[in-house]
Amino acid sequence: MTIGAMTPTTASWGKRDDMIVRANQPYNAEPPPAVLADSALTPIDAFYARNHGSFPDTAPQDWQLTVNGQVERPLTVTYEQLTTEFDQHDVVATLACAGNRRAEMLRVRPIPGKEPWAHGAISTAEWRGARLTDVLAAAGAQHYDGLHVAFQALDIAEEAKPLQPYGSSIPLSKAMSPEVLLAWRMNSEPLPRTHGGPVRVVVPGYIGARSVKWISDITVQSGPSENYFQSRDYRILPADADPEAVAAGEGIALSSVALNCDILDPTDDDRVPRGQLTIRGYGIAGDGRSVERVDVSLDEGLTWRQADLHPAPGRWSWRPWSLVVDVAPGPLHITARAWDETGAAQPEWPASLWNPRGYGNNAWARVALSVI
Ligand SMILES: Nc1nc2c(c(=O)[nH]1)N[C@H]1C(S)=C(S)[C@@H](COP(=O)(O)O)O[C@H]1N2
Ligand SMILES: [Mo]
């Protein structure tokens, strides 16, 4: 047996061996897509991990949260107080990284220095926590129109320029919605360290970047956070912008996720036997809307049939779908597109959405494989 310093690996983060690791320091990984298709709630060992820097290892008894800014009674809340003095709520919510499906975008034009997330930077869990609105009320937060709630964390984000703790903000109107939690449990287990334990913010319906992990400070303020990840990153820049040279506030800050769907199984380059094939995937609509229909095409969009929609495990989660088709030997292209309750549909190609940081790819889902 060798004893020595261990490099953190997928196993030491409690993840499956077959995670697709995008970086080890900090740990960034996504599950194989077929694993995501296996259950509506993603097991913790398969849940994608997206980290911007080295993250803290704080024991619950050492954790505390400050709430300040435009509040009548600035507060410090301990883990004990948060978990015993506030009502507890369970919310099933999908977290989707704004960079999910970037791999398809960078086939349009390269996106240097960004993780080539494929289909798996999205996962769903049941989160337990206190409502952010209850904690804000305990601090006597003001609620004028146009206020924002800024989050700051304990990790130091090496990706940020200059180096700074990770942070972001959401409008106060969203912060006061009942689905937004300060969560300490995930799928009935204590929130694991990789996912922000002891306590993280969960902002259902918004891009994953706003669900700040290792939360330490909450500030009610008149404008959005000036943190790098709110003011410079996680923004849709014009196609000709140089992401290294943008000024704070340039581009469009991402908030609620756009209607999307994906094919999880089979996936690109699979070889499947002829005959009956079950296609599985998910649809997700932005900010609490529902997916009403998913269409699947085996001829690149000439003709469509409707997928079987399965119940969503919660209003803030993705909606699994499946479809059994008959396939003959040869190349197979599968396309899928979702429609939401407002009749909105997805754009056809990633080329029409391409942006310098590769965010928000919600083009029709496409996979190419062979039938043998
Ligand atoms: N403190 C902190 N919070 C964070 C991040 C981070 O690096 N540091 N990454 C964000 C991003 S971009 C995403 S997509 C989600 C990912 O959450 P997960 O790792 O639990 O899947 O956390 C968000 N919260
Ligand atoms: Mo993300």
Would the CA dihedral through 94, 97, 103, 107 be positive or negative?
positive
Secondary structure (DSSP) of 260-273: EEEEEES-TT-EE-
**What pLDDT score does 14 carry?**
93
Class of the CATH domain delimited by 260-371: mainly beta
Domain edges within the chain: 2-253, 260-371
Q: Which of 47, 50, 215 to mutate to test the pocket of ligand 1 (most atoms within 8 A of CB)?
A: 50
**What pLDDT score does 8 carry?**
57
* Lowest-confidence region among 130-134, 142-146, 231-235: 142-146
Secondary structure (DSSP) of 322-352: EEEEEE-SEEEEEEEEEEETT-----S-GGG
**What pLDDT score does 7 carry?**
54
- Residue 359 CA: which ligand is closest? 2
* Lowest-confidence region among 60-64, 248-252, 306-310: 248-252
What band does 116 get if pLDDT is binned at 50, 70 and 90?
Answer: very high
pLDDT digits (tens, 9 = 90+) for 346-363: 999 999 999 999 999 999
Q: Is 148 in the pocket of ligand 1 (CB under 6 A)?
A: no
Which CATH homologous superfamily contains domain 2-253?
A: Oxidoreductase, molybdopterin-binding domain (3.90.420.10)
**What pLDDT score does 86 carry?**
98
**What pLDDT score does 354 carry?**
97
**What pLDDT score does 48 carry?**
98
Which residue minimizes the CA distance to atom 18 of ligand 1? 49
Identify the H or E element spanning 138: helix 132-138
pLDDT digits (tens, 9 = 90+) for 305-336: 999 999 999 999 999 999 999 999 999 999 99
Asked whether 325 and 265 are in contact (CB, 8 A), the reply is no
Span 181-210, average pLDDT:
98
